[in-house]
Homo-oligomer: A and B are copies of this chain.
Amino acid sequence: MGLTIGVDIGGTKIAAGVVDEAGAIIETHTVATPSTPGGIVDAICSAVAGAGEGHRIEAVGIGAAGYVDDKRATVLFAPNIDWRHEPLKDKVEQRVGLPVVVENDANAAAWGEFRFGAGQGHEDVIVITLGTGLGGGIIIGNKLRRGRFGVAAEFGHIRVVPDGLLCGCGSQGCWEQYASGRALVRYARQRAAAAPEAAAVLLGLGDGTPEGIEGRHVSEAARQGDPVAVDSFRELARWAGAGLADLASLFDPSAFIIGGGVSDEGELVLEPIRKSFRRWLIGAQWRPHAQVVAARLGNRAGLVGAADLARQG
């Protein structure tokens, strides 16, 4: 009783998981991600059917990258899939015969962390996901805040540098160009190109060229103390922390939860983020400070969060 299914649409696979009321994943079913928009709908339904077999499922929650409308029914725009005003809720409901809730994937992950992860015990939290890009979700007063039209919490695209780096969104100077896994790699490559001798460890982990540096090399090299890798994490942390200070001015949450692949490095990246956060926090001596803590659910957050949102209807 009380089981729902959460769906996570990834670039290579689509995972559906049966989740109980405590946020535990009972069973998972995974299918490869098709290349066509219609194929993806089929695959979602197939994954849901596979996972739900033998369980009594009450509802389905789907986390999708992109803009989801205020009714949590239609994907207005998905950057990676060719979905434009896609009535995903209706299509899947007809096929699986269960109530469906569609949610932005970063919102779903934020909700997962709030309910079952690092956000427990808080009422007002901001979750920031430092993955390839930068996303997140807003919980105020124990509720996920989606905005009037469903497209709030697009943290990655606030402008932190006027006339700054071009972003895939068409704008310039977006936060995710400076605080994300992609930014981390850029920092490392630029620094390694300027000072190859100092980046010996880092370069050695890849093919020896700055262009060959990948995110996992920067993480590994930083763990080994490579100065260029450490400095690259610091640069990312500088931007991340300064942005959190802005969000504290706006939202004044009791906690910031940092998730995503970059946060896998734990204190290596969290501590410099905290330092930068304190450096830029306005009125720091006159206010209680939000905690800056690591997410706990890893990449399960989105699936678990989507399932829980479906439960709540």
Which residues of A come within 8 Å of B, CB atoms? 67, 76-77, 84, 122-124, 138, 140-141, 143, 145-155, 157-166, 169-174, 178, 190-191, 193-195, 242, 245-247, 249-254, 275, 278-284, 286-288, 290
Contact = CB atoms under 8 A, between A and B. Distances in A.
Contacts of A164: 161, 163-165
Contacts of A166: 165-166
Given A67-B287, A275-B195, A152 B76 contact: no
Contacts of A163: 161-162, 164-165, 173, 178
Contacts of A151: 252, 283, 287
Given A77-B283, A278-B194, A250 B153 contact: yes
Nearest to A288: B149
A70 to B, nearest CB: 9
A147 B141 CA distance: 9
Contacts of A138: 250
Contacts of A165: 163-166, 172
Contacts of A249: 152, 154-155, 157-158
A282 B153 contact: no
Contacts of A275: 195
A161 B159 contact: no
B159 A246 contact: yes
Residue of A124, A245, A254, A287 with most partner-chain B CB within 10 A = A287
Given A152-B251, A162-B161, A164-B161, A171 B77 contact: no
Contact of A169 (B158, B194, B253, B283): B283
A148 B171 contact: no
Contacts of A150: 252
Contact of A154 (B160, B162, B282): B282
A212 B242 CA distance: 26
B250 A154 contact: yes
Contact of A67 (B122, B158, B281, B286): B286
B171 A254 contact: no
Contacts of A194: 278-281, 284
A290 to B, nearest CB: 7
Given A124-B148, A154-B252, A162-B163, 20 more contacts: A76-B286, A122-B148, A140-B145, A141-B143, A141-B145, A146-B252, A147-B253, A148-B290, A152-B251, A155-B249, A159-B242, A159-B246, A163-B173, A165-B166, A169-B282, A170-B193, A170-B282, A190-B279, A194-B284, A195-B279
B280 A171 contact: yes
